[in-house]
Chain A
Amino acid sequence: MQFSKLAVCAALLLPATAMVAVAAAPHPAFKLRHDNFEAMGRAMKSTFDQFKKPTPNLATIRKNANVLAAAATKVKGHFPVGTGPEAGVKTEALAAIWARPADFAAATDRLVDTTKGLQAAAAGTDLAKIQAAAGAVGGSCKNCHDSFRKPRG
């Protein structure tokens, strides 16, 4: 009697714990996009640091432009359904990403376009042009964050 009760409890609990374990391991997309966005943030800071320096290093700017252009193409794939605020994982992604997929796609496209633009500008040596192109990239970050990321502070 005692034993069968235990067995029933165990039989009920095991799948439950297994389910909890599955739920606790967050979707890999969370880490992927975090790392990707942080790489973009670092590249942006490094680029804007160069603009302030007495002698901006064009090679550094080009390297950053390549990082940004490569990272930009990945953003689209980093938001599979089920990785929004409902996932119970700490995230700043807003439900609007999945509610307005066309607008979100437009925002990722704009990022891809502007980072390509920066790459193209950085191929030359006209610093004013490069700076304007980098500003356009910043505008595309802000454009998406304003509608699809939880405001901070």
Chain B
Amino acid sequence: MREAAVPVKLWDLPVRLIHWGFVVLLPLLWWSAESGRLGLHKTFGLVMLTLVVTRLLWGLVGSPTARFDGFLRGPRAILDYLKGRGETARAPVVGHNPLGGWSVMAMLTLLGAQVALGLVTQDVDGLESGPLNSLVSWDTAEAAREAHELLFNLILALVVLHLAAIAFYRFVRKDDLVRPMVTGRRRFSEAVAPPHLAPLWRAALCAVLAAALAGWVWLGAPPFGARYPWDQPALAPLDAADYM
């Protein structure tokens, strides 16, 4: 019954690219903000927006191991998995385990919320601000600034938890999760059905849609938050009282 340990391709290219993109971007976002390079920070932030939105779309139309409906499981499955009982616990997991699926969702949610706050926030003087800052009041932008600062610490905490979990699997369970996230392949001790990976053109479409959204946001979301780049500014008519 011992099947030759065949490597199974379980993480598709978009999942891996986006994952390592997060790993590179997070320190860059932190560094650019702390050193006051806000222009750079906003550029990285919009790249982050593109990655998060692409990943969310890929969670709807991507490969089975990338889809939310595949890896978000109920409390029953999570408990069974933790206690090591039932079908879910014994079968080898091709993709995220029931707990890991939710940690992915938590990470994407926090990153998305952080991006959203960044879009409307402002620095202390109201001089540097996110591209959608003009859509909100001063007080809202100030609240967003505080929340943007706080949420970064929550993201850091989640990253630490994530690394701790990987170390736990590596050293206690003797299960290397890092290599599959690099190569996309891992070996299973028994035969498993390899997932049908979705075609790459679909990922490209998701990325194009996400990039278009980021571009629109970068322009200030015309016509709501800013005028179209090709629109000449028009001044509102004044009455005599304004001159006095």
- Closest A residue to B220 by CB, please name it: A52
**Which residues in window 89-138 of B have CB below 8 A to A?**
122-127, 129, 133-134, 138
> Which residue numbers of A lie inside 8 Å of B, CB to CB?
41-42, 44-46, 48-49, 51-59, 62, 125, 127, 138, 141-142, 145, 151-153
Question: Chain A residues with Cβ under 8 A from B133's Cβ?
Answer: 45, 49
Contact with A along B23-57 (1 / 0, CB 8 A): 00000000001101000000000000000000000
B227 near A54 with CB under 8 A, answer yes
B233 with A145: CB separation less than 8 A: no
Segment of B8-16, B154-162, B197-205, B235-243 engaged in the interface with chain A: B235-243
Q: What CA separation (Å) do A138 and B124 show in the bound complex?
A: 12
**Chain A CB within 8 A of B166 CB:** no
Query: What 5 A-B pairs come out closest when comparing CB atoms?
Result: A45-B126, A49-B134, A52-B226, A54-B227, A41-B126
From B223, B238, B242, give the contact of A54 (CB < 8 A): B223
Q: Can you list 9 contacts pairing A with B, beta carbon distance less than 8 Å?
A: A41-B125, A42-B126, A44-B127, A45-B129, A45-B133, A49-B133, A52-B226, A141-B127, A153-B34
Known pairs A48-B134, A49-B134, A54-B223; A41 contacts B235 (CB<8 A): no
Majority-rule SS of B interface residues = loop
187-244 of chain B: CB within 8 A of chain A = 220, 223, 225-227, 231, 233-236, 238, 242
Q: How far is the CB of B38 from chain A (nearest CB, A)?
A: 10
Interface size in chain B (residues, C-beta < 8 A): 26
Question: Contacting B235 at CB < 8 Å: which of A45, A56, A151?
Answer: A56
Query: Across the interface, which residues of B come within 8 angstroms of A49, CB to CB?
Result: 133-134
Query: What 1/0 mask marks residues of chain B from 53 to 64 whose CB sits below 8 Å from any chain A CB?
Result: 000000000000
A49–B233 Cα gap in the complex (Å)?
Answer: 13
The A interface, classified by DSSP as helix, strand, loop or mixed, is helix
Residue on B nearest A58 in the bound complex, by CB = B235
Residue A53 contacts which of B122, B127, B134, B238 (CB distance < 8 angstroms)? Answer: B134
Q: Is B141 an interface residue (CB 8 A)?
A: yes
The CA-CA distance from A56 to B235 in the complex, in Å, is 5
Contacts of B238 in A (CB 8 A): 58-59
Which residue of B33, B126, B234, B242 contacts A55 across the interface (Cβ within 8 Å)? B234
Contact of A52 among B123, B125, B134, B141 (CB under 8 A): B134
Q: 19 other contacts beyond A42-B138, A54-B223, A127-B235, with CB at 8 A cut-off?
A: A44-B125, A45-B133, A45-B141, A48-B127, A48-B134, A49-B133, A52-B227, A53-B134, A53-B226, A54-B231, A54-B233, A55-B233, A57-B236, A125-B235, A142-B125, A151-B36, A152-B123, A152-B124, A153-B36
- Max chain B Cβ within 10 angstroms of own Cβ: one of A41, A141, A142, A145: A41
**Candidates A54, A55, A145; contact of B125 at CB < 8 Å:** A145
Chain A residues with CB below 8 A from B220, complex form: 52
Residue of B nearest to A45 (CB): B126
Which residue in chain A gives the minimum CB-CB distance to B124? Answer: A152
Residues of chain A lying within 8 A (CB to CB) of residue B123: 152
Check A58–B124 contact: CB distance below 8 A: no
Min CB distance A40 to B, Å, is: 8
**B242 engages A142 (CB within 8 Å):** no
